[in-house]
Structure 1
Amino acid sequence: MSSYKHFETQAIRTRAEKSQNREHTTPVYMTSSFTFEDAEQARALFGDEIAGNIYTRFSNPNNNELIDKLCLLEGTEDGVATASGMAAMFTSMAGLLKSGDHILASRSLFGSTHQILTGIFPKWGIEHTYADIEKPETWEGLIRKNTKMIFVETPSNPGLDLVDLEWLGKLAAAHNLILNVDNCFATPYLQQPAKWGAHLVTHSATKFIDGQGRAIGGVVLGPKDLIKDVRYFSRHSGPALSPFNGWLLSKSLETLHVRMDRHCENAMKIAEYLEDHKDLEFVKYPFLKSHPQYELARKQMKLGGGLITFNVKGGLERGRRFLDGLKMISFTANLGDTRTSATHPASTTHSKLSDEERAAVGIYPGLVRVSVGLENVNDILEDIENALRISRGITQVAYNI
Structure 2
Amino acid sequence: MSDATRFETLAVHGGEPRPARDRSVVFPIYQGTVYEIEPGGGVDYIRYSNTPTQTYVQDKLAALEGAEAAVVTASGMAAIATALSSVLGGGDRLIVAGNLYGGTHALLAEEARRIGWGVDFVDADDPAAWEAALRPETKAVYVESITNPLVRVGDLAGLARFAREHGLTSIIDNTFPTPVLFRPHTVGYDLVCHSATKALNGHSDLVAGVVTGSAERIERVRHQLMLFGGSLDPNAAFLLSRGLKTLALRVRAQNENALALARFLEEHEAIADVHYPGLASHPDHERAAALFDGFGSMLAFRPAGGLDAAERLLRTLRIPYPAASLGGVESLMTRPAISSHAKMTAEERAAAGIGDDLIRFSTGIEAAEDLIADFAQALGD
TM-score (ref. length: structure 1): 0.91
Q: Distance in 2 between matches of 1:20 and 1:124?
A: 43
- Is 1:349 aligned with 2:346? no
Cα distance in structure 1, aligned partners of 2:21 and 2:274: 55
2:20 aligned with 1:29? no
Distance 2:3 2:154 in 1: 32
The separation in 1 between residues aligned to 2:178 and 2:238, in whole angstroms, is 18
What one-letter code is carried by the residue in structure 2 that aligns with 1:161? Answer: R
**Conserved in 1, the CA contact under 8 Å of 2:64 and 2:179?**
yes
CA contact (8 A) 1:2 1:10 kept: no
Counterpart among 321, 333, 337 of residue 312 in structure 2: 321
Question: Secondary structure of the residue that 1:252 maps to in structure 2?
Answer: helix
Give yes or no for contact 2:141–2:169 (8 Å, CA) kept in 1.
yes
Answering whether residue 46 of structure 2 is matched by residue 56 of structure 1, we say: yes
Deviation at 1:269, TM superposition (A): 0.5
How well do the aligned residues superpose, as a CA RMSD in angstroms?
1.7
Aligned equivalents of 2:21, 2:200: Cα separation in 1: 30
SS of the counterpart of 2:152?
coil
Q: In the TM superposition, what are the counterparts of 1:29-108 in structure 2 within 5 Å? A: 29-37=30-38, 40-41=39-40, 44-46=41-43, 54-58=44-48, 59-108=50-99
Deviations 1:219-238 (A, max 9, x none): 01111222121111101211
1: CA distance, partners of 2:88 / 2:185: 20
Q: Distance in 2 between matches of 1:140 and 1:4?
A: 38
* Paired position in structure 2 for 1:50: none
CA contact (8 A) 2:98 2:147 kept: no
Aligned residues: 379
- Distance in 2 (alpha carbons) for counterparts of 1:298 and 1:61: 39
Larger Rg: 1
2:6 aligned with 1:11:
no
- The answer to whether 1:145 aligns with 2:136 is yes
Q: Is the 8 A contact 1:95 1:230 kept in 2?
A: yes
Aligned with 2:326 (options 325, 332, 335) = 335
> Shift of the alpha carbon at 1:118?
1.5
Gap change, CA 1:18 and 1:28, over 3 Å in 2 = farther
- Which residues in structure 2 correspond to 1:200-219 (within 5 Å)? 200-219=191-210
Give the deviation of 1:21 after TM superposition. Answer: 3.1
Distance in 1 (CA, whole Å) between partners of 2:165 and 2:3 is 34
Deviation string for 1:25-73 (max 9, x for gaps)?
Answer: 1111111121234xx34xx315xxxxxxx11111222221222122122
Aligned residue type for 2:106: Q
Q: Deviations over 1:202-250 (max 9, x none)?
A: 0001111111111111001111222121111101211011111111111
- Residue 318 of structure 1, CA deviation: 2.2
Could you tell me the TM-score, scaled by structure 2's length? 0.95
Alpha-carbon offset, residue 20 of structure 1: 6.5
Aligned counterpart for 1:225 among listed residues 199, 203, 216 = 216
Q: CA deviation at 1:284?
A: 1.2
Question: Shift of the alpha carbon at 1:336?
Answer: 0.5
Of 356, 359, 373 in structure 2, the residue corresponding to residue 365 of structure 1 is 356
Any idea what SS the aligned residue of 1:57 has? helix
Contact map agreement 2:307 2:357 (CA 8 A) in 1 = yes
Work out whether 1:157 is the aligned partner of 2:148.
Answer: yes
| Sequence identity (%) | 36
Please point out which of 305, 308, 312 is paired with 2:296. Answer: 305
Equivalents in 2 of 1:338, 1:16: separation in Å? 28
Where 1:207 maps in the other structure, the secondary structure is coil
Of 297-306 and 350-359, deviating more is: 350-359
Give yes or no for contact 2:277–2:288 (8 Å, CA) kept in 1: yes
Task: State the secondary structure of the residue aligned to 1:45.
Answer: coil
For structure 1, which segment, 330-339 or 346-355, has the greater mean C-alpha deviation from structure 2 after superposition? 346-355
Give the distance between the partners of 1:18 and 1:294, measured in 2 at CA: 44
- Report deviation, 1:136: 4.1
**C-alpha displacement of 1:143:** 1.7
Once residues 272 and 374 of structure 2 are traced to their aligned partners in structure 1, the CA distance between those partners, rounded to angstroms, is 19
Q: CA deviation at 1:384?
A: 2.1
Unaligned residue ranges in structure 1 (runs of 5+): 47-53, 390-398
Mapped contact 2:200–2:244 kept (Cα < 8 A):
yes
